[in-house]
Structure 1
Amino acid sequence: MLNRAVAPEAKPIGDIHLKSPKVLAFNNGIPVYVFHSPDQELVRIEWIFNNVFNEDENPLLNSALSALLKEGTKNYNSAEIADKVDFYGAFLMPEYGFDITSLTLYTLNKHSNVLLPLIKEILTESVLPQKELDTYLRNNKQKLQVSLQKNDYLARRTYYNHVFGSGNRYGKTPSLEEYDLISRDALIDLYHKQFTPSNCRLIISGNVSESLLQELSLYFGDQWLATDDVRLTEPNLTADTGQLIYDERAEALQSAIRIGMPNINRNHVDYPALQFVNTLLGGFFGSRLMRNIREEKGYTYSIGSAVGSLKYGGFLTIATEVGVDVTDATLTEIEKEIEILRTELATIEELDLVKNYLSGSMLGSLESIFSHADKFKNVLLSNMDLTYYDHYMNEINAMTPEKVKEIAIQYFDYSKMIKIVVGKMKTLELVSEL
């Protein structure tokens, strides 16, 4: 009989094998990456476009364009598009990110001959109706007004302003006045610049039939005329360092805290090691920040740290919300944990725990062909290939106490981090010391 009082034997995770795509190209130059799995009933098609920015680098235009993409074309209004997609049991989702905008379709192969012409029309003949734009602007201004009353939202937007600088696509945050400046003419101009064959990549995963590939090649290769290459510009990132920005809220019961700094991205050789040290610090439930600030001190329900990789940079952020009476103490404890990382060697047992967690997370994230496609997409957008994950796993498994300390010294410097506090602090003296 199974003795549930005894933990099962832990066994190391072996090599993790990622599926590679079949690489094709349409006649107009669009690269196509195919992950075929006959056991999967669905097929997922992702049209991926780099975001195009003008000199103002206003990301509100790009996010608005993404939201309005399926709200009306030459032959269909928004309701007709939604009804047609629903009728065939499909799912269509535009999505905006810092660097890319994508349009994703989930469907069955047998419905592709009906849905692909619709997608083609969305990407080539959207009209971005003024009525839908007015609704979008009204709704988002209302959401922003509500969000501006929340400490965590204020802390997050202030963090981006200072970590990247407020004059570029990564650091600029929306204002009510900027929503009023969005025009349909500007969106149409951006639409024609951004959604072109030269700026498109396709990732197709699931039960990818030959007939589906032929239809895709027809609609998005032969019938979508090639264009000049899109000119992509690199943002001018201007980070602040070492500051504490304090926004006092007289009635606050909690303080929202964001701490972080610009950092390396996935293209850097140290990125896997950075992820490892971040996980140890605050990247999972058993992390040092959670054990100290949640479990031992009881200052918060949740605290965590994360590293992010963008096309033109990376960042480290620590986030939590705590009672106003322990705001100062929380900052002190965060600084202490970072200093311990930089001055003391971690134990082998703690490192093994993080290694097992990260290896298990990698293995657990590969439950379907769609997951393999997602892993490939991550490296594709960083201009890398799947060998990155071999490097990632090798670096994770090779981490030592000395390497953890070395990475912490190089990439986790509390004195250079920006500290954002929205709420209340007890003593201004502490503020001046940070």
Structure 2
Amino acid sequence: MSRTAEQIGRTELGPRPLPPLGEQRPATRPAAVDTVLANGLRVLAVRHPTVPMVEVRLRVPFAGADPLHAARAEVLASALLTGTERRDRVAVDTELALVGGELSAGVDPELLSLSGNALADGFDTLLDVLGDVLTGAVYRDDEVLGERERLVERITVAESQPSVIARKALQRHRYGDHPFTREMPEAADVAGVDAGEVRSLHAASVVPRGAVLVVVGDLDPEDVVSRVERALGGWSSERSAVVLPQLPELTPGPLRLVGRAGAVQSQFRLSAQAIPRTDPGYAALQLANLAFGGFFSSRLVENIREDKGYTYHARSYSEFTPSGATLLVETDTAGAVTAGALLEIRYELARLGIKPPSESEVETVRQYAVGLLLTSTASQGGLASQLSGLVPFGLGLDWLLEHPERIRAVTAEQIADAGRRFFAPTRFTGVVVGDPDGFDALELLGDVTRG
């Protein structure tokens, strides 16, 4: 006779106790090389032989002050892999497929990113295709036209999505017309981009000096650097990659109410200045944020989802910017409970400082943070992505390996201090996007202004 999970988990004396967590051993530093090639490209190679694969992440600073830069950059990223002087689109895909590989490109206001992988014995092929794309992409007129039309269609659809509307409103509210806010170009701007403009942008801005290539896999790091130098040594330019100008400090202030007539939901996007990962207090802030809204069992989720039923999803997190970091609080609620949701969000922000996390809360978020970090870096792809996100901020493998110990060293009092320092409601600003008919109730709560 079979037993249910509940029956298995209980004894005559009550619930069967959970076994204690195993002792977490310090991470062993893998073999790694971090160097800068003659052409200015920084290469970080890490041996991680979990499977016979290799992961690559190339990040090229790709900022631009021209208001049309975002549109041209999006078309460039979409058409980058459509053909070179040596290979057409089919040949690029075929050669990568033959070594179990793939390569993709994307762009944001800060970076042009290329990500790929292949079998370890296909690394040279992956590098050859990558180098060919970087130095020989041709952007044929018909390919650019096709990618441009697909982009226009996707952007047109996205612009009607509430989350996109809210993000654009938040960026304008926080940073005005700073290039950092141009995360999605206007469809009309993209429609006006021609192949000549894309080719000119590639020649001027897809450059190695200031770029970073992260390679993680079942390969010797010294050998990786030699092979990268052979394959990408011809990628050169006298220019340096263009970085974003510094962002202004985020100023606390009223929430801007952005009308969206007939909306059945309201989008909350709150933000406050925070500290970067290089700050000694970052680990305490990380745990305080988890306790507030950083995972499913957080205070914010327990309140406005589990207890009040105002939303299906709520979260808070750090967003790392060229100049530092900000805290973000996000949730979407039914329009009828917009005022109630804002009241509870502000209540939980204040409560984190007034009633700091208990010892059990602290231990829960500590275990979650360490476990999440270890899990996210266990695979080659996860480690490569983590490192590529750290390197532009002056951090690297040592920081990643040492961070679990920093998390374990954080005290309850340090978390309480981070709660008081960073989560006070008066430190935040942001936007609420929703039906204007519900704004009267929000105005009764104060510290809001109509956009």
Question: Same fold, TM exceeding 0.5?
Answer: yes
Q: Aligned residue for 1:33? A: 44
Whether the 8 Å CA contact 2:57–2:384 is kept in 1: the answer is no
State yes or no: 1:270 paired with 2:309: no
Q: Counterparts of 1:103-114 in structure 2 under 5 Å?
A: 103-114=114-125
Q: CA deviation at 1:283?
A: 0.5
Q: Aligned residue for 2:30? A: 19
Say if 1:244 and 1:54 are closer, same or farther in 2 by CA, change over 3 A: closer
Letter in 1 for 2:9: R
SS in 2 for 1:381: helix
1:164 to 161, 168, 175: 175
State yes or no: 1:354 paired with 2:354: no
Letter in 2 for 1:216: V
Say if 1:346 and 1:43 are closer, same or farther in 2 by CA, change over 3 A: closer
SS in 2 for 1:34: strand
Whether the 8 Å CA contact 1:13–1:360 is kept in 2: the answer is no
Whether the 8 Å CA contact 2:134–2:235 is kept in 1: the answer is no
Q: CA deviation at 1:282?
A: 0.5
Letter in 1 for 2:438: K
Whether the 8 Å CA contact 2:269–2:330 is kept in 1: the answer is yes
SS in 1 for 2:432: strand
Q: Aligned residue for 1:218? A: 230
Whether the 8 Å CA contact 2:338–2:442 is kept in 1: the answer is no
Say if 1:31 and 1:146 are closer, same or farther in 2 by CA, change over 3 A: closer
Distance in 2 separating the partners of 1:196 and 1:126: 13
1:410 to 409, 418, 421: 421
Q: Counterparts of 1:347-386 in structure 2 under 5 Å?
A: 347-386=358-397
Q: CA deviation at 1:224?
A: 3.6
Q: Deviations over 1:279-305 (max 9, x none)?
A: 111101100011111111111111111
State yes or no: 1:136 paired with 2:141: no
Q: Aligned residue for 1:428? A: 440
Whether the 8 Å CA contact 1:262–1:316 is kept in 2: the answer is yes
1:322 to 308, 317, 333: 333
1:4 to 4, 9, 18: 9
Distance in 2 separating the partners of 1:216 and 1:299: 52
Q: CA deviation at 1:121?
A: 1.7
Letter in 2 for 1:266: R
State yes or no: 1:81 paired with 2:86: no
Letter in 2 for 1:326: V
Distance in 2 separating the partners of 1:211 and 1:397: 36
Say if 1:142 and 1:96 are closer, same or farther in 2 by CA, change over 3 A: same
Distance in 1 separating the partners of 2:113 and 2:439: 47
State yes or no: 1:343 paired with 2:348: no
SS in 1 for 2:327: strand
Distance in 2 separating the partners of 1:272 and 1:108: 36
Distance in 2 separating the partners of 1:215 and 1:410: 48
Q: Aligned residue for 1:255? A: 266
Q: Aligned residue for 2:13? A: none
Q: Counterparts of 1:169-184 in structure 2 under 5 Å?
A: 169-170=180-181, 173-184=184-195
Q: Which runs of 5+ in 1 are unaligned?
A: none
Q: Deviations over 1:107-132 (max 9, x none)?
A: 22443454433322210111122323
Q: CA deviation at 1:329?
A: 0.4
State yes or no: 1:48 paired with 2:59: yes
Say if 1:169 and 1:57 are closer, same or farther in 2 by CA, change over 3 A: farther
Distance in 2 separating the partners of 1:98 and 1:199: 16
Distance in 2 separating the partners of 1:85 and 1:369: 18
Distance in 1 separating the partners of 2:103 and 2:131: 13
2:207 to 174, 180, 196: 196
Q: Which runs of 5+ in 2 are unaligned?
A: 11-15
State yes or no: 1:208 paired with 2:219: yes
Q: Deviations over 1:211-269 (max 9, x none)?
A: 76554332212x34463444545244374532322233343222222111333222323
Distance in 2 separating the partners of 1:52 and 1:335: 35
Q: CA deviation at 1:358?
A: 0.8
Moved more, 153-162 or 4-13: 4-13
Whether the 8 Å CA contact 2:34–2:44 is kept in 1: the answer is yes
Whether the 8 Å CA contact 2:53–2:218 is kept in 1: the answer is yes
Say if 1:144 and 1:220 are closer, same or farther in 2 by CA, change over 3 A: closer
Q: How many residues align?
A: 433
Instruction: Provide the identity percentage.
Output: 22
Moved more, 346-355 or 378-387: 378-387
What's the TM-score, normalizing by structure 2? 0.86
Say if 1:341 and 1:126 are closer, same or farther in 2 by CA, change over 3 A: same
Letter in 2 for 1:330: A
Distance in 1 separating the partners of 2:223 and 2:174: 48
Whether the 8 Å CA contact 2:109–2:182 is kept in 1: the answer is no
Whether the 8 Å CA contact 1:13–1:359 is kept in 2: the answer is no
